[in-house]
Amino acid sequence: MATQTQFHVLAVDDSLIDRKLIERLLKTSSYQVTAVDSGSKALEFLGLNGENEDEERNSSVESVSAADEDHQVGVNLIITDYCMPGMTGYDLLRKIKQSSSFKDIPVVIMSSENIPSRINRCLEDGAEEFFLKPVKLSDVNKLRPHLMKGITTKNEMQSNTNKRKGSEEIQSPDRTRPRYNELEVV
Amino acid sequence: MDGYGMQNQIACIRRSLFDQGYLDEQFIQLEELQDDTNPNFVQEIVTLFYTDSARLIQNIELTLNSRPINFSKLDDYMHQFKGSSSSIGAKKVTSECAVFRQYCAAGNAEAYISSLLPHIYTD
């Protein structure tokens, strides 16, 4: 039931300089950082290697660094560059949102190019924020609410599990409410 | 020269880099990220920038010397160069990259380079 004491951010950027910068920005904000240089490495870190995600999870859930919330090291937010060779930040966003295990991890996109259609497409497809490069501390400060929301969700999920196990709360049998309608932090 | 005189000189040089448009506020952001736990951050990232830039310039030169010129590759290198210089706060380099990319888009890389060559190694 422990709340994580430190948020873990996965940063994805093919530029060495930008990786160093984002790493410093995130560490200054007291986040734990893992920085990788490609979308495929990011997916590998999350344990989403192959086409069949469930297969990967079952076989490698203990060996991969970032598994689910009960693992010591989980990922609370992904921040990725848009323009990368191979898999773009947008491709990575889509893959994460299509994954049942990771679709709720907030994703933030960074880009040096101010293209409104690109920005809108990313936001519509699930990105929480879109930062224009060069990234500054004021941008990184915008991450906290998204990270806090994740903690609330996690605690709510755990409290739901606890409620189901005990039976002191009345739950309607055909309850189909969505997950996010409670804001109470246990 | 005493320590104070030297520091004064460094401060003046630093200020002139801003005044002359070589550096912008992003460089100040880098300075603000430096502290006792990371006392060499600016030096480290600028050194990385120099190494990376040398690599990019080398690739750009190779691309410019090949025939036909691969403008797509050139644009890619310039995009990288513009990106990293912008992240460092190297304002003048960033804007030169932007101008060069426009020339490339117009297929006019050679004309631009011959006007720029004296400046690339000094700026």
Domain positions in chain A are 7-49+72-154
The complex scores an ipTM of 0.83
Residue B2: per-residue pLDDT: 72
Domain chopping of chain B, boundaries = 3-120
CA distance A21 to chain B (A): 8
Taking CA–CA distances from B91, the nearest residue in chain A reads: A134
Burial label, B44 (beta-carbon count in 10 A; 0-12, 13-18, 19+): middle
Q: What rounded mean pLDDT belongs to chain A? A: 80
CA distance A102 to A14: 22
Fold topology of A7-49+72-154: Rossmann fold (3.40.50)
Q: Give the burial string for A89-117 (b: 16+ CB within 10 Å, else e).
A: bbbbbbbbeebebbebbbbbbbbbeeeee
Does the structural domain B3-120 have CATH classification 3.30.70.260? no
Closest-CA residue to A38 (of A110, A119, A92): A92
pTM: 0.77
Contact B56, B81 (CB under 8 A): yes
Average pLDDT (B83-104) is 90
Residues B36-88 have pLDDT tens digits of 999 999 999 999 999 999 999 999 999 989 988 888 898 899 999 999 999 99
Taking CA–CA distances from B46, the nearest residue in chain A reads: A17
Looking at the partner chain, which of A17, A28, A83 has a beta carbon nearest the beta carbon of B87? A17
Contact B45, B88 (CB under 8 A): yes
What are the chain A neighbours of B79 within 8 Å (beta carbons)? 83, 112
CA distance A126 to A93: 7
Looking at the partner chain, which of B38, B41, B88 has a beta carbon nearest the beta carbon of A17? B88
* Residues of chain A below pLDDT 50: 1, 51-57, 59-72, 168-169, 171-172, 174-182, 184
Looking at the partner chain, which of B32, B35, B45 has a beta carbon nearest the beta carbon of A17? B45
**Token digits of residue A124:** 């519509």
Are A28 and B33 inside 8 Å of each other by CB?
Answer: yes
